[in-house]
Chains A and B, each alone.
Chain A
Amino acid sequence: MKLNSPLQVYKYLPQINCAECGDATCMAFAAHLIDRSKKLEDCPPLLKDEYKKKYMELQTLLAPEIREIMIGVGESAKKIGGDDVMFRHQLTFFNPTAFAYDVGDTMQESELVERVNKIQNFKKFYVGKFLKVNMVAVRCVSGDALKFAGTVKKVSETTKLPLVLCSFDPAALKAALEVVKDRNPLIYAATEKNWGDVAELALNYKVPVVLFSPDLDKLKSLAATFHEMGIKDLVLDPGTYPQGKQLKETFERFVKLRRAGIKEGQKDIAYPIMSVPLSAWLIYKDAVTASYWETVLASVFIVRYSDIMILHSLEPYAMLPEVHLRDTIYTDPRTPVKVAPGVNEVGSPTKDSPVIVTTNFALTYYTVESDLSSNKINCYLAAVDTDGIGVEAAVAGGQLTAAKIKDTFQKANFDFKDKTAHGTLILPGLAARLQGDVEDATGLRILIGPPDSGRIPGWMEKNWPPKPK
């Protein structure tokens, strides 16, 4: 964005401190506009006619450097692009890389439906939410426009996920667009050869379009030409070569494009970038090797600036690291990953239920909590304030101590005599060395749980209820 201080933004605001946006002052609201945690539309007065001019100016001045583009419709629609920085610590990255998994129009229908379902049903629990994948890319393998359109139809009936329609043949794209024109699909791709016809499609159907060329001069030409024609929702594919010097050059193109867009403000190429890690399958036929290499390519481009990517492997060993790495890179570094300290109920605990200790590091806490609830273990779970540090490091660093544990229960008014019939506390396996200290500090009976909460169910079978002394 063109403004970088709240004061600059403040000049354009009504400056009446009406607090309708939820902030006490316009200056506070300005700060939230700068860090992109609030939108202009959160300020009702600004939407009135008298401020229309300022509103419009702000809209331009606050627009992210990389254009934001919407693909799909409704709840599963996905925004891509919208970044303002080169490195995540400078602000945060917005709109996590969209993962589009491919299907081909030569697949049998049952196979096709099964694959689409696998894509849309994939989920992996992580820190209180599920990581998922986002789109289906339909490839025209047959070269037959009708067949392609038929496959697109079947896919669109099977899923609400946004679609990417892939063919270099404008006739095939047109046939497919006719079927899903209400779904705002992304069309792939305009090239040096077919651009005139593909531009026509983008204009007529008002859909976002990918421009493909590994030659950055040509890619920029395509972008400038489409922009000139009034097509603004563009995605750039600078080509993803799967190996050797070509791959090194691919990496360099991604860095160059993003640097030109963000650091140098070159508006004419400041669009989201697409990578195609699927190209790993062009060089490796063995499924494990190809899946591994595809995951490697995906990882390189998740880190360096791909806003959307086309993937093939649905192997869990490919998808799990991919969704986790994307989460790693796009997690907002400004938000501490802590939960509120305290003693929480999991399920409906009784006097015979166990009392378990963990830390307030969100990852640890949610992992333990989900392991317990998913296995229907009713219990009390204490989140000790370790400044958001995990168990092992907190024991080593002195953030998880007997005194802190005692303090957590006291502050929560949790009286073991009142709440439990057993007077027993379970420490994490990785905090075993605190056993004596905690016993002394609390006078409770201390049991040592497993080092990984995934093993609590097995541990419970052997150790709970505690044997009488």
Chain B
Amino acid sequence: MTKKIKLSELGNLFGGLDIQALEGVKIEGDVELDLGQMGLNPQVSYALGHEFAQIAFHLMNVSRILGYPVEQMLGSAAPPKRLSKLIESKFSVSRMEEWKTPIQEVVLGATSSDGGSRKSTVTLGGENALPYYFDSPMPHRNHVTMDVFDMPINMAKAVKSNYEDVINSPAEWAKKVVRDFGADMVTIHLISTDPNIKDTSPAQAAKTVEEVLQAVDVPIVIGGSGNPEKDPAVLEKAAEAAAGERCLLASASLNLDYARIAEAAKKYNHVVLSWTQLEINAQKELNRKLMKQCGVARENIVMDPTTAALGYGLDYAYTNMERIRLAGLTGDAELSFPMSSGTTNAWGAREAWMVSSPLKEDSDWGPREYRGPIWEIITGLALSLAGNDLFMMMHPGAVHVLKEITQTLYGSKETEPVNIDNWVSAVV
């Protein structure tokens, strides 16, 4: 198969080396040849044949000692080698030893035995590894909470068409997302309380929360309007109306009176959503303040490190979450909490809602009805891989697909095996 090389031909093998430099060099004493360490490139050994290998070995070591890149010279000189059998190999890889700290488990919702009226609860967190990694199975799947608003709002057309019949009734809206769209939870956004919108009173907002709690038996998230002056009062009143239900109060942030929200959560048995804007150190600071300054227990904190849409800062949001989760797993107790994403933000991307590209140079954007939901799916999916646990979402189709993929990767989707061996010739 391969012709054996004669000793006289070794010179040719080294033809590329500047042999002159060897002259006048004296090697004193014993040159140690460590067979185990240096070894002989098997390619070379094969090419030379066993009887010459030893001589070549000496020569090459001398050259190596003098600094010649022997392997590189030989690489091009050696003829390609044919093998008749596969080299047996075993693949193995270690688990991540530095992931020592589990993420805090947080239960949302309370059943009658725990002083609430929910029929089911949702448990977030508890991970010992990045999501879906083989190092350690995820103890709980991802969950979706669907948005309900306390007044009609502007929505992308593809979203709105699903809610036109319930847009004036938060209770009916909540029922619909649980019954028809598979929502694990419901978020009631009390946006009408914003002084710049309707300035609805905290008492009125609390009534809306009661209606939603009566309409559905899943755990709920209570969201303010985002007005930092008004939200503490609104969330206090809502927390009182929902006492004992272990709702997620959205949100405590550094730019409002977070202590009041923390206090309401403690007093009425709820969980605090700790919301910061794409800043890992701000997230640490707020979590620390909630725990140390306000006395919120670890099992009552969920983080929202902010979701930016695909194409609109998702690179920051993704990496921020991934860093937070890795910090938590490697022992940062101020960051080892479950995370929540306002995935609905994806609808702010113009690719999600615009009829067509405003730029003439762009390839056709195609029908927007299909672009919107997938923008929400991919925004959420990327963050699920970064470690996000709970998704706040809007479009029923997006919810369906996101649940399908996250639960597949989680390991709870059983399907018939598919044979992929002939994908090359498949007719698609």
Contacts and interface: CB of A to CB of B under 8 A. Distances in A.
A118 B353 CA distance: 24
Q: Is the interface of B mostly helix, strand, loop or mixed?
A: loop
B425 A217 contact: no
Given A317-B370, A321-B375, A370 B359 contact: yes
B405 interface: yes
B371 A316 contact: yes
A219 B360 CA distance: 46
Q: Is the interface of A mostly helix, strand, loop or mixed?
A: helix
B91 A269 contact: yes
A371 B416 CA distance: 49
A288 B370 contact: yes
Contact of A125 (B362, B367, B415): B362
Given A228-B43, A255-B134, A321-B378, A126 B424 contact: no
B81 interface: yes
B315 interface: yes
A266 B89 CA distance: 13
A230 B405 contact: no
B309 to A, nearest CB: 9
Interface in A261-281: 264, 266, 268-269, 276, 278-279, 281
Given A219-B91, A248-B409, A268-B89, A203 B80 contact: yes
A220 B86 CA distance: 10
B87 A225 contact: yes
A320 B365 contact: yes
A282 B420 CA distance: 8
Interface stretch (A16-24, A325-333, A408-416): A325-333
Contact of B91 (A166, A260, A282, A371): A260
Given A241-B420, A244-B413, A292-B374, A89 B351 contact: no
Interface residues of B, number: 81
B381 interface: yes
Contacts of B423: 276, 278-279, 282
A454 B422 CA distance: 45
Interface string B70-107: 00100100101111101111111110100000000000
B233 interface: no
A406 interface: no
- Listed residue (B96, B323, B354, B358) with the most chain A CB atoms within 10 angstroms of its CB: B358
Contacts of B401: 292-293, 296
Nearest to B425: A141
Which size class do A's interface residues fall under? 35 or more
Contacts of B318: 303, 328-329
A166 B424 contact: yes
Contacts of B374: 292, 295, 317-318, 321
A260 to B, nearest CB: 4
Contact of B90 (A56, A141, A217): A217
Contacts of B72: 56
A260 B96 CA distance: 11
- Listed residue (B375, B378, B428) with the most chain A CB atoms within 10 angstroms of its CB: B428
B96 to A, nearest CB: 8
A224 B363 CA distance: 43
Contacts of B69: 53, 56
Interface in A295-321: 295-296, 299-300, 303-304, 312, 315-321
Interface stretch (A152-160, A188-196, A352-360, A461-469): A188-196
Contacts of A317: 366-367, 370-371, 374
Contact of B133 (A140, A223, A252, A276): A252
B414 interface: yes
A141 B86 CA distance: 28
Interface string A118-150: 000111111000100000000111010000000
Contact of A228 (B42, B364, B365): B42
A356 B420 CA distance: 55
8 contacts: A196-B83, A256-B93, A260-B93, A279-B418, A317-B366, A324-B311, A325-B378, A327-B315
Interface of B: 42-43, 67-69, 72, 75, 78, 80-84, 86-94, 96, 132-134, 277, 310-315, 318-319, 322-323, 326, 350-351, 354, 357-367, 370-371, 374-375, 377-378, 381-382, 385, 401, 405, 408-411, 413-418, 420, 422-428
Given A123-B361, A321-B375, 8 more contacts: A223-B89, A279-B423, A296-B378, A325-B310, A374-B358, A374-B361, A452-B350, A457-B358
* 3 A-B pairs with least C-beta separation: A244-B415, A316-B366, A454-B358
